[in-house]
Structures are given as structure tokens and as C-alpha cells.
Amino acid sequence: MEYLRELPSLLLPWYCENRRELPWRADREPYHVWLSEIMLQQTRVEAVKGYYSRFLDTLPTIAALAECDDELLHKLWEGLGYYSRVRNLKKAAQVVMARHDGLFPRTHAEVLALPGIGDYTAGAICSICYGLPTPAVDGNVLRVFSRLTDDPSPIDLSPTKRKVTEVLAAIYPAEAGDFTQALMELGATVCGPNRKPDCERCPCNRICRGYAHGTAEVLPVKAPKKEKRQEDRTVFLFHCDGKYALEKRPSKGLLAGLWQFPNVSGQLDTADALAEAEKMGLRPQDLQKEIFRKHIFTHIQWNMKGIYLDVAETGGDFQWFTEDEVTAAAALPTAFRQFWEER
């Protein structure tokens, strides 16, 4: 793959002229780059911008993150999903404070050893912040390489990722940080996902075998996905005298430690839902409405029925919050927040 050695000289000038102005590109502070890379996992750039700024306004340093109350931490992350990411951010910040005297580590091995940091994030931090030749191979980079090399190997399999990482490591230029971000930028824009690649505008089309062979549009290839497990749930929005019932999820497992509306397995009909409310120690008074929604996790789909129910008094094994308290302080994961937004 000698032709790929031209990649840096093609990409770097293009990146210099065409890169998007993003808040986390304003500097190369490791905390900022680390935070942005964690936020950008499974999340669109436009959605992250506001979260990134609010997070740093509230927690401007690693020390502040390490000491942050979990409730505030979850509230800052509310709506981004994949809450294990922010819990690992705090754990990693505590490790930095305890083992590295509050200074973000500078070697790839030390960065990779932090909680919640995998190969991609470690590669991104070390190349962007420290100029190390450490590839950051994510879906965007894998897409670019499958087209550049006209390779139909499934990009979501580990051997493919290892091969791309090895090839990249051998051609990294001195401008390691810019090269990492140039690859990301190309894969997010010109060679982007879920649309036809804009090969005519691509700075690499001269060496792209997918373009030459007419296969760029059908690449990359992914292995067949397993069907998601389906789970039915009934969600209760209990309301009494301006307050709403919430409870904490278990400390381990899916959406660990976050707030939720009371809910049970299965989709109950109206009569069974009212009976279930009574079992929870509440006296139903007025059924406001019922709605149906779904929420998709990585391996599970929840099919959810929301029951909006006025009850006679606050009670049950719940905590009761005013509307302002829910909005200001209780971090609701998206699966439940969608019912709150339609109250």
C-alpha cells in the first residue's frame, strides 16, 4: 500500500483550508480534547456543541470534575445518553488527581489505562495534544480507508480495525495532531456516512481505489447486525398537587443510578395500570392520557406505554418533585424524558 504514503501530503493542506471551526479545536488542552471525544461518541457534532460549553462552564478543570456531585454530573449530561461515559469521565478524573498529581498523563499507555478510554480516544488525545503518531481509528476513518483501498472487509470487525491502525501508524507525519483531525474531518464531511461520497471534491481521489474502480458508493461493508431484543414497559407519570413521582434506578446495569418514572414490565391495559398504581400505594383519581413511545439502546428496544395519572396524595416508595425541580435537578435519561416533554 505504498500509494497511501501520499495521504498526509494530500490531506493536510485540505484540512488547513476546509476544517470546521469547532469549540474543542480552539486549543489542545488534554481535558478539552478528552471531553469532546467522549461526548462525540454516538452523538452528532451539532448536538455536542452546547453540552461541551455548558460542561466546561460548570466544571472548568479536571479537579472540578473529580469532585463533582453525581446529581449535577448527570444533569449536565442529560439527553446525551450512554451515561456510563460521564461516570467514567469522573472516575478517570479522580485517577488523574490521585495518581498523576492532577496533570493529564502524557504517554499512550497511561492515557489508555484511564477508565472509559479505549484505543480510539487514547490515540486521539495523544496525537492531537502531544503530537504522538498514535492513530485514532473510528467509524469515519474506517469508512475512508475502506474506500481508499477498495476493501470490502466488514469495518465493524476487530481484524479490520487492527489492519487499518497498523497501516496508519506506518504513514503518520510529524504533524500528527492535524493528520488525525484531517482524517476525522474527511470522514465526517466529504466521505461522510449515510450518503453518496463527494468524490469530485475529495483531496484524495487521485489515490482512491474505490473512486477509480467505481465502488466507493457501496463501501464500507458491515457485518450483519443481530436483531435487538424487544422489551415492553409501562411508564407511570404520577401527579399530585404540582408534584411528580420519581425513583432512582439500581446502581448497576442499564441507566445505572439515574432518575426514572415508576415503571413495570409489560404494556398494561388501563384497568391493570390502575390496579398496579394501587399496589404501589397510590390512589388513582384521574387518568389524563396514554401515549406510546419507543427507545432504542445498543442491544435492546423498549416499547413503552406512558400512563399520565393524577393521584390523591403523594406516597409510595417514591420521591416527589415539582416541575421546576425535575427540570433543574433531576437527570432523566431520554427514554423517560420523552414522556416528561409531552406531559
Contacts of residue 326, defined as CB under 8 A and 6 or more positions apart, other chains included, come to 244, 246, 332, 340
Whether the bond into 220 is cis, omega within 30 of 0 = yes
Torsion over CA: 323, 327, 328, 330 (sign): positive
Residue labelled with grid coordinates 479536571: 62
In what helix (H) or strand (E) does residue 240 lie, and over which residues does it extend? strand 229-240
β-sheet bridge partners, residue 236: 307
Q: Which CA distances in Å does 77 have to 49, 94, 260, 296, 323?
A: 12, 18, 15, 18, 19
Q: Do 327 and 313 touch, CB atoms closer than 8 A?
A: no
Marked catalytic residue, from 2, 21, 29, 37: 37
C-alpha cell at 334: 431520554
User: Quick one: CA torsion of 25, 30, 31, 33, rounded to 10 degrees?
Assistant: 30
**37 belongs to the catalytic site:** yes
The CA-based diameter of the chain, rounded to the nearest angstrom, is 75
CA atoms within 13 A on the CB side of 102: 7
Amino acid at 121: T
Amino acid at 318: F
Alpha carbon distance 255, 250 (integer Å): 8
Active site residues: 37
